[in-house]
């Protein structure tokens, strides 16, 4: 939690104002019972008169003298009096204190809202910025579902606890210590009841804390699980329906939901047990004070309004003291969940980024041509023992199309993920125009590339906005030209709103082939030096595939093109084909050469096309 609190630094004034205003309201709470006791003790009094048998008149007793009605029923007279001036005086003081406290309370609400909203906004922003700088390794380590939960639910937990704690940080000690001192000053004997009440409440708080902490820790993980199951079901709704697995997914969600519910109920039961026990303890303490006061009256220790006023004040102060401890209980109960949430947020913020941007600026203005060279590149994941890629070496020159093919898991996508530094090589080097990619600023490096991933990702908006996403300031003509090259114009113009047609979340209202063509247009619109296509033609029919590659060839004469593909037909005309098997290059050359000299390539080719088609 300490690391999270650094986000409060820009809002120090609001925090200080909150603390000061809380101090005002707390002191006001302490003053009110004191002035109430003064109204009772000083504003109300009794006049004692005794009958003078000689003159048969009633004489007023002074200097604190009293008479007893029980022993002198015929000669003792007691009259209740009030001093309206004193009552009004102290009443006005109480009214002023209440007014100041009310204004302070409004100020607390204002500053707490302002600070809490800004505080949580900054945490979410920091999480998002951190995650946006994650390499694929860090992103996969956490997973999408838990990242969503941590940036929403966990931040909310921390926000609620932080603001609550700032309200209580001064309230609890002022009310507890101040109330104890004021109560002892009024009547130490009555205050002694707290010697039993406070330890009993402390034991209760500690017990509940020990019981509820592991439950809240488990609760956050179960929320992650529920988010994961729900997200998978929503993303895979087409597959689920196609395979008739709706009931299975409903059951899967129900299991995760029930698990979360059981844990929540268990934690809720502990909390529900706490409230009546605290109330019982609180009322027991108050009743004990009243009983002790009754005994004091019976013994004659308390004989006037001043004594009764002190009893009233002690009850008020003890109530405040116990209430401050209840507030402390609430803080303790909420702490475990906030602590767990804070640790989960800190895990993201403290995660070491493996892809570090260079501090060199010498290549910021370099006009790169796009010649790529892989030199003895090895790569393995951080937690893996075996390399995914071994001794990968090849060149891709401007104007050339280099294709990469191989069986599933051979390392094709890994190679192209190394180019924009989504991962960094374990050994060896990747250069563009003889400059190591690690020496080029990430922004500059990625501006050189038009990347079309294996899974087409579209954003909520319009088709035009999705295509223009590839280039800042792209004009309408740029967007239309890119769509035409990507063979997307035909289906776009069939839409009622053509380029202004809406793209739903994830592009679910478009087919796989349509999404791929929009993604390809997005890459084309930026006119990059390097085109990277990661199996980006797989959803296209052969006719569209051929037309698109023909249009691309004209567009990429001054660019380097790297294509990862499964279909031989997509790469058959490539200037260079690289064949991968288990992370190693087992063949390199043109189609005809590989058919004669590379058995792996020949097997892949013949599994798709006949010899006549491959000739």
Encode pLDDT of 262-304 as tens digits: 888 888 887 777 778 877 887 888 888 888 877 777 776 776 6
Helices (H), 193-304: 194-235, 237-242, 246-299
Backbone angles phi, psi at 161, to 5 degrees: -70, -40
Report how far residue 347's alpha carbon sits from residue 340's, in angstroms, rounded to the nearest whole number.
11
Residue of 290, 170, 317, 145 lying closest to 220 (CA atoms): 145
Average of pLDDT values for 383-409? 89
Which CATH topology does 2-349 take? ABC transporter transmembrane region fold (1.20.1560)
* DSSP tag of 18: H
Tell me what pLDDT residue 300 has.
67
546 has a pLDDT exceeding 80: yes
Q: Residue 615 pLDDT more than 70?
A: no
Rg (CA), the chain: 39
* Greatest alpha-carbon span in the chain: 147
Closest CA to 93 of 39, 44, 43: 39
Q: How far apart are CA 388 and CA 424, in angstroms?
A: 12
Q: CATH for 451-527?
A: 3.40.50.300
Mean pLDDT over residues 408-417, rounded? 87
The H or E element containing residue 52 is strand 44-52
- Distance set, CA 143 to CA 182, 348, 350, 411, 604 (Å): 56, 11, 16, 22, 34
The pLDDT tens digits of the residues spanning 499-529 come to 898 888 777 788 888 888 999 999 999 999 9
The length of the chain, given as a count of residues: 615
Query: Distance of CA 376 to CAs 295, 354, 560, Å?
Result: 94, 21, 20
State the residue for tokens 């579209």: 458
Work out the end-to-end distance of the chain between its first and last CA atoms, rounded to an integer number of angstroms: 67
Question: Which tokens is 422 given?
Answer: 């989504």
Quote the tokens at residue 118: 């800004």
Give the global pTM: 0.70
Q: Please tell me the predicted confidence (pLDDT) of residue 435.
A: 93
pLDDT at 396: 92
CATH 3.40.50.300 domain locations along the chain: 451-527
Enter the tokens of residue 194: 């707290």
**Among 171-175, 376-380, 561-565, whose mean pLDDT is lowest?**
171-175
- Band of residue 429 on the pLDDT scale cut at 50, 70, 90: very high
To which residue do tokens 């109560």 refer?
183
Distance CA 567, CA 23 (A): 73
Residues of the chain with CATH 1.20.1560.10: 2-349
């Amino acid at each position: 939690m300490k690391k999270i609190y650094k986000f409060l630094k820009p809002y120090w004034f609001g925090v200080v104002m909150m603390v000061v205003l809380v101090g005002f309201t707390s002191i006001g709470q302490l003053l009110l019972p004191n002035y109430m006791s003064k109204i009772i003790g000083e504003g109300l009094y009794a006049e004692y008169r005794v009958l003078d048998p000689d003159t048969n008149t009633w004489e007023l007793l002074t200097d604190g003298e009293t008479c007893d009605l029980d022993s002198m029923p015929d000669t003792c007279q007691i009259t209740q009096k009030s001093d309206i001036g004193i009552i009004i005086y102290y009443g006005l003081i109480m009214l002023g204190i209440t007014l100041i406290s009310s204004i302070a309370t409004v100020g607390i609400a204002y500053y707490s809202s302002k600070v809490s909203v800004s505080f949580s906004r900054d945490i979410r922003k920091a999480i998002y910025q951190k995650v946006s700088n994650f390499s694929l390794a860090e992103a996969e380590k956490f997973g999408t579902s838990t990242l969503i939960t941590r940036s929403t639910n966990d931040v909310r937990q921390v926000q609620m606890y932080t603001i609550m704690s700032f309200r209580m940080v001064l309230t609890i000690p002022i009310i507890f210590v101040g109330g104890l001192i004021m109560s002892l000053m009024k009547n130490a004997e009555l205050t002694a009841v707290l010697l039993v009440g406070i330890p009993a409440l402390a034991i209760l708080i500690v017990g509940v804390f020990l019981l509820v902490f592991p439950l809240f820790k488990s609760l956050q993980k179960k929320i992650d699980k529920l988010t994961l199951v729900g997200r998978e079901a929503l993303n895979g709704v087409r597959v689920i329906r196609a395979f008739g697995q709706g009931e299975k997914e409903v059951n899967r969600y129900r299991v995760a939901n029930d698990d979360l519910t059981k844990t929540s109920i268990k934690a809720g039961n502990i909390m529900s047990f706490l409230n009546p026990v605290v109330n019982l303890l609180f009322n027991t303490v108050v009743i004990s004070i009243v009983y002790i006061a009754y005994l004091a009256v019976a013994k004659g220790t308390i004989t006037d309004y001043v004594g009764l006023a002190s009893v009233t004040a002690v009850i008020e102060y003890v109530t405040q003291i116990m209430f401050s401890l209840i507030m402390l209980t609430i803080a303790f109960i909420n702490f475990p969940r906030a602590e767990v949430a804070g640790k989960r947020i800190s895990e993201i913020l403290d995660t070491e980024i493996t892809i570090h941007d260079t501090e060199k600026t010498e290549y910021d203005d370099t006009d790169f041509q796009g010649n790529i060279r892989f030199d003895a590149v090895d790569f393995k994941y951080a937690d893996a023992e075996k390399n995914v890629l071994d001794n990968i070496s090849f060149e891709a020159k401007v104007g050339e199309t280099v294709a990469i093919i191989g069986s599933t898991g051979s390392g094709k996508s890994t190679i192209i993920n190394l180019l924009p530094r989504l991962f960094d090589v374990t050994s060896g080097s990747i250069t563009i125009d003889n400059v190591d990619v690690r020496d080029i600023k990430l922004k500059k490096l990625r501006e050189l590339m038009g990347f079309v991933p294996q899974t087409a990702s579209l954003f909520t908006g319009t088709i035009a906005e999705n295509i223009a996403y590839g280039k800042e300031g792209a004009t309408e003509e740029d967007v239309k030209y890119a769509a035409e090259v990507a063979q997307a114009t035909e289906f776009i113009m069939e839409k009622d709103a053509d380029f202004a047609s809406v793209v739903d979340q994830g592009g679910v209202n478009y087919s796989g082939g349509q999404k791929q063509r929009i993604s390809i247009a997005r890459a084309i619109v930026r006119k990059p030096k390097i085109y990277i296509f990661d199996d980006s033609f797989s959803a296209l029919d052969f006719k569209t595939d051929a037309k698109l590659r023909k249009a691309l060839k004209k567009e990429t004469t001054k660019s380097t093109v790297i294509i990862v593909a499964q279909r031989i037909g997509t790469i058959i005309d490539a200037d260079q084909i690289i064949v991968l098997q288990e992370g190693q290059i087992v063949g390199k050359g043109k189609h005809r050469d590989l058919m004669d000299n590379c058995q792996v390539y020949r097997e892949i080719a013949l599994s798709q096309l006949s010899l006549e088609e491959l000739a």
